[in-house]
Structure 1
Amino acid sequence: MRKILSYIAAFSFLAVVSCTNDDQDIQDKQEDQPILSSDAKALSKRINFANSGVLDMKNSSGKNVTAGNFPLVLVAEVAPPVYNGKTLRATHVAVEGNYAYVSYNTEGETYLGAIEVLDVTNPNAPQLVMQAILPNTDVSSVRYDNGKLYIAGAKDIYASGATSPAFVGSMTLSGGMLTNSLQQTFLKGNVGTDVTSSASKYYAVSGATGVFAQLSKTSQQVEMTIPLNDLRALGYNNNKIVVLSGTEGVKIYDANGLNLVTSFATSADVEGAKRTIDFIDGKLLISEGYNGVGVYNLSSGAKLQKLAVPTQIPNVNPADIVSNAVSVNSGRVFVANGGAGIYVYAPENNDLKLMGSLDLTGSSNFVMSKGEYIFVATGAGGLKIIKTVAPANGAVNCSGYAAYTGNEWLNVNSGQTLEYSGTKSLQGINVNHVLTWCGALTASQGVNINSNATFNMYGQMYQGMQSNPWNSLNINSGALLNQKGNLTTYGHMILNSNAKWKVEGNVTIFGNLTINQGSKIEFIGSNSTITIHGTVTKNGNSTITGTFTDVNNKL
């Protein structure tokens, strides 16, 4: 059977509300139960750190001169699962606390999906802790709400006996983990494309000649349906349900009774493409494919702005540059622009202004940002985990230091004493006398504390890239790195002769650590930790003092 994800009809349905008992195509069914695995060690073998490290965000001209205000690191990449010889592709992510729930489906005629739980409690060592394979089932979208996952997708009607391909359901979690407690309800349409929820209800849309449905959280029964064409996405905002159709535009319903409040047209879109919506400051953001992201007044429907798709990206086919998804987090807007990567915007003078872009390998098909993380699904390329960098709450008081407004290379000349605060992304740092930084820093290339110089780092710092470990962190002859807070270096770290390193906090070194003659490492206090993934080389006599936890027993 050919898998049909959506179909655009040449006419529109009148929006009619029907009750469950009058709709013969909607019924409950429980079969094809999830195949569960909680072998975190085996699952986590798919997590790859080869490209981990500090990300350089490009501005609109393609390069930066001044230091950036939004430092980011690529934590890891998660390869997609393979089941019975079929490689799945990531479709959606829901985030709750330190858990990310990732959904998958399979391209082509095969119906095969999965949901996985990613634990990011330790940002330097994420783990896949659970998996549920869903036979004969594609999963389009997941949403976490109060101990349950709400799921939308499609079933193979011949293999499963389902009355309709489109379904919506809920899985009861246990301590945040997946279970076999999955209830499914079938809807008219070829595929359940999206799901959202309110306090007592949950809502779903199904593509092609599908429906917008309201279901009871307690009984799982469909309470109301409204037939609409080519349904792509929906969202809950201020007691309103916002529904996106590829052909009929936006329809906004009151959550109390599903009365239509307003509707308005949007850009025409490619048949069957996955799209998302989100909200910021009373505005509705819609990913509109080749038309970019449309920004609409949520009350009037007036189009306020268009975030156009980028053009003339080197080595990228223009046909692969398309706005697939949009996500809002902490006043920033993230757009998945296919082969062009992720574009980041922030409000400025009532408009959204481009902050910069992230050039990621693979096509950015979906983006979800919540808390400190940005998750990017790249289809068959799997999932990318990106972390924002900020000072740890309450770790340091930076009130006595000036804000840094310089360029992306921070150079401290001989005889200079410089003191700065803030959160910045840099290319690199050269210290030839005294530098104090209070806050958070990233440096994508080298950090050199040269002979007899001092670098006081109070807060969080990330340095380097795994792909080029020789862009290293160097404490040279007689120099001092005085670290209070957390340090992560993705390249090598080298202490040259008589170098000094004082540590009060946590250190992670993905590369190698070299400790040369006369070097001293002093751990302050009783709670410091060091995790070294590479090798440790000690040349000559050196000293390591203080109380600390050596996680991998390398020192």
Structure 2
Amino acid sequence: MKIKSLLGCTLLAALTLISCNNDDNVAAGTENEKIIINSDVQSLNKRIKFENSGVLDIITPSAGKNTPVQAGSLPVVLVAEVNPPVYAGKTLKATHVAINGNYAYVSYNTEGEAYGGAVDVINISNPNVPQLVVQAIFPNTDVSAVSYENGKLYIAGAASVDAFPNLSSPGFVSAMTLNNGLLTTNYVQTQLSGNVATSVTSVGNRYYAVSGGAGDLVALDKNTNQVQATIPVADLRAVGQNNNKIVVLSGTSGVKVYDANSMAPQGSFATSVDVPGAKRTIDFLGNNLLVSEGYNGLGVYNFSTGSKLQTIAVPTNIAGVDNADITTNAVSVNNQNVFLANGGAGLYIYKNENQALNLVGSVAMNGSCNYTMSKGDYIFAAMGNGGLKIAKMVTSTQTLNCSQFPTYNGSVWLNVNSNETKEYQGSASLMGVNVNANLTFCGSLSVSQGLNINSGGVFYMKGSLAQGQQSNPWLSLIINNNAVMRVEGDVVIYGHLILNSGAKLEFVGNNSSITIHGNVTKGSNVTITGTFKDTFNKL
């Protein structure tokens, strides 16, 4: 967070079209430039990398152990990595993500005293190949957070008072009218008191922003962008809305709740006092408020009473990681799954079970995790190197009745020996599968390493399967002589598919698909039957 003079003045400025630049490494803007739009898809997509895409192991962290032993219950794949934009010779850092439909909006700022930010729009309609479709560079302006609602993108951040002499304080919130979901220069900015606007949300006829330092909670009219209410609260980190209530988090005075219409106080309760300037988020799980509390981990509070129900301490003794680098920076709730950005310890997943959060595991993403947000099947993680990782939960859209099968809860290595028949349902994250007889899996399955169907083996996959890693394609899916793989659903293979002589690949029904990122090797007398979609035309 930039520490600048903290003056309380509100200014409304309409920003007009400035320039369109097709070079992602945009040069420094002039004093008058507010937005630089880049819609050159070819140049933008050079920043999206797929080399490390593939199945991610879910590990149970402990000192010196980074290999899972027990099968996980939440299969996850890394879809892509997005390198951060470079502006004025500086690499920006991802700060926040908002999702609407097929688009993800990613905000960036500049670390340290310099100012410079951006917003990316990523098309995620194809889960295998996300595309960067437009970018806005904000010269001399950091972007802290974004929020989407009804065709508008609300933006919170800080602008340099040296570059923009008409500003008396850096913090601002703005509303951008989008064009079919894409960024425009139809952009109205409102100055706030405080060093930086840290968070923004909207509900009803208003949008709301908070600013840090000697900051405020501000309510603005969506139609006129006029400030309708200002409530001073020091050191504000986050704002959210729940059941027509506006909830803010202060690093010094905890949680405060206001009525969204009257802005009358509805209650408050203390949380742990946080280190100055650190980014934090809040989210809601039923009637509970989840608060990222830095070195104090995650706090789970009853939203109505303020009583603390559970504390999720930060991980400790992670091999190769200094405990000082482990801090709960952000929390995101998606259905009954809770995702925590735990700094140097990485991304952690908890599941809400029996009114308590229980650890699912840590996602093996390699790196410090500063922010996370999950919606739908997607998980976004802003990493310490400034980039963004796009992950996706493996879920099945098939309507299959497999309730008679047990849930798999064994080893991460699933072996089916000769003369055995094994049948499972549910979701599982495995490292390897070896089939020598009969295996049926009904639901969602990920296999990070090899999947072998040996001679005489039959593997019936009913649902969604993800297998392998692009970085090591030789961890292949292999169907050997006189072996059968039967698919009723969707299969994604990140490595190679090897069909040895006499292998059989059978597709059941009319809605199956197969996506193969690696190569396909076919022996003699291979048979492929059924109706299916071959995404990359590899078969």
Per-residue deviation, 1:303: 1.8
Per-residue deviation, 1:220: 0.3
What are the residue-to-residue correspondences of 1:93-108 with 2, within 5 Å?
93-108=97-112
Per-residue deviation, 1:313: 0.2
> Separation in 2 of the partners of 1:5 and 1:283?
35
What are the residue-to-residue correspondences of 1:194-273 with 2, within 5 Å?
194-273=199-278
- Structure 1 residues 530 and 359, CA gap change in structure 2 (3 angstroms): closer
What residue in structure 2 maps to residue 540 of structure 1? none
Aligned residue type for 1:288: E
What residue in structure 1 maps to residue 14 of structure 2? 30
Per-residue deviation, 1:393: 4.3
Aligned mate of 1:491, from 492, 495, 511: 495
> Separation in 1 of the partners of 2:89 and 2:385?
13
1:294 aligns with 2:299: yes
Per-residue deviation, 1:110: 2.2
1:304 aligns with 2:288: no
Q: What is the count of residue pairs matched by the alignment?
A: 515
> Separation in 1 of the partners of 2:417 and 2:315?
40
What residue in structure 2 maps to residue 47 of structure 1? 48
- Secondary structure at the aligned position of 1:209 is classed as coil
CA-to-partner distance for each residue in 1:385-415, whole Å, 9 max, x for gaps?
1101111143x44345443343322211112
> Separation in 2 of the partners of 1:216 and 1:379?
36
- Structure 1 residues 530 and 196, CA gap change in structure 2 (3 angstroms): closer
Per-residue deviation, 1:272: 0.5
CA contact (8 A) 1:103 1:141 kept: yes
CA-to-partner distance for each residue in 1:284-324, whole Å, 9 max, x for gaps?
11111111111112122222211100000000111110110
CA contact (8 A) 2:61 2:318 kept: no
What residue in structure 2 maps to residue 377 of structure 1? 382
> Separation in 2 of the partners of 1:258 and 1:145?
21
Aligned residue type for 1:251: K
> Separation in 2 of the partners of 1:65 and 1:155?
49
Per-residue deviation, 1:521: 2.7
Per-residue deviation, 1:73: 0.7
CA contact (8 A) 2:8 2:169 kept: no
Per-residue deviation, 1:49: 1.3
Aligned mate of 2:442, from 419, 438, 442: 438
What residue in structure 1 maps to residue 75 of structure 2? 71
What are the residue-to-residue correspondences of 1:459-498 with 2, within 5 Å?
459-498=463-502
Aligned residue type for 2:276: E
Aligned residue type for 1:101: Y
What residue in structure 1 maps to residue 184 of structure 2? 179
CA-to-partner distance for each residue in 1:512-534, whole Å, 9 max, x for gaps?
22112232333x23x52241xxx
1:512 aligns with 2:496: no
> Separation in 1 of the partners of 2:274 and 2:447?
40
> Separation in 1 of the partners of 2:196 and 2:409?
51
Per-residue deviation, 1:495: 1.0
What residue in structure 1 maps to residue 359 of structure 2? 354
1:83 aligns with 2:84: no
What residue in structure 2 maps to residue 119 of structure 1? 123
> Separation in 1 of the partners of 2:87 and 2:469?
32
Aligned residue type for 2:362: S
> Separation in 1 of the partners of 2:346 and 2:260?
35
What residue in structure 2 maps to residue 332 of structure 1? 337
- Structure 1 residues 420 and 353, CA gap change in structure 2 (3 angstroms): closer
Per-residue deviation, 1:379: 4.2
Between 396-405 and 371-380, report the one with greater CA deviation. Answer: 396-405
CA-to-partner distance for each residue in 1:527-547, whole Å, 9 max, x for gaps?
52241xxxxxxxxxxxxxxxx
What are the residue-to-residue correspondences of 1:393-404 with 2, within 5 Å?
393-394=398-399, 396-399=400-403, 401-404=405-408
CA-to-partner distance for each residue in 1:97-120, whole Å, 9 max, x for gaps?
121100001112321111111111
Aligned residue type for 1:437: F
- Secondary structure at the aligned position of 1:160 is classed as coil
What are the residue-to-residue correspondences of 1:114-153 with 2, within 5 Å?
114-153=118-157
- Secondary structure at the aligned position of 2:352 is classed as strand
Aligned residue type for 1:4: I
Aligned residue type for 1:92: H
What's the C-alpha RMSD, in Å, of the aligned pairs?
A: 1.9
CA-to-partner distance for each residue in 1:144-168, whole Å, 9 max, x for gaps?
1111111100011121232321000
What residue in structure 2 maps to residue 448 of structure 1? 452
Unaligned runs of 5+ in 2: 16-32
Per-residue deviation, 1:273: 0.5
What residue in structure 1 maps to residue 326 of structure 2? 321
CA-to-partner distance for each residue in 1:196-245, whole Å, 9 max, x for gaps?
11111111001101111011011001111011111111110111111111
> Separation in 1 of the partners of 2:69 and 2:138?
49
1:57 aligns with 2:58: yes
> Separation in 2 of the partners of 1:191 and 1:244?
15
> Separation in 2 of the partners of 1:311 and 1:350?
25
Per-residue deviation, 1:34: 1.9
CA contact (8 A) 1:138 1:153 kept: yes
Per-residue deviation, 1:66: 3.4
Aligned residue type for 2:336: G
> Separation in 2 of the partners of 1:301 and 1:422?
36
Aligned residue type for 1:176: G
- Structure 1 residues 251 and 530, CA gap change in structure 2 (3 angstroms): closer
> Separation in 2 of the partners of 1:529 and 1:72?
22
> Separation in 2 of the partners of 1:325 and 1:475?
43
Per-residue deviation, 1:6: 9.8
- Secondary structure at the aligned position of 1:514 is classed as strand
CA contact (8 A) 1:211 1:226 kept: yes
TM-score of the superposed pair, with normalisation by structure 1: 0.89
> Separation in 2 of the partners of 1:511 and 1:5?
52
CA-to-partner distance for each residue in 1:245-287, whole Å, 9 max, x for gaps?
1111111111121111212221111110011011112111111
> Separation in 1 of the partners of 2:280 and 2:405?
45
CA contact (8 A) 1:439 1:459 kept: yes
- Structure 1 residues 503 and 83, CA gap change in structure 2 (3 angstroms): farther
CA-to-partner distance for each residue in 1:27-85, whole Å, 9 max, x for gaps?
10134332112222221111111211111111255554432211111111110011232
TM-score of the superposed pair, with normalisation by structure 2: 0.92
- Structure 1 residues 108 and 246, CA gap change in structure 2 (3 angstroms): same
The alignment-based identity, stated in percent, is 57
CA contact (8 A) 2:5 2:169 kept: no
What residue in structure 2 maps to residue 501 of structure 1? 505
Aligned residue type for 2:107: S
CA contact (8 A) 1:6 1:272 kept: no
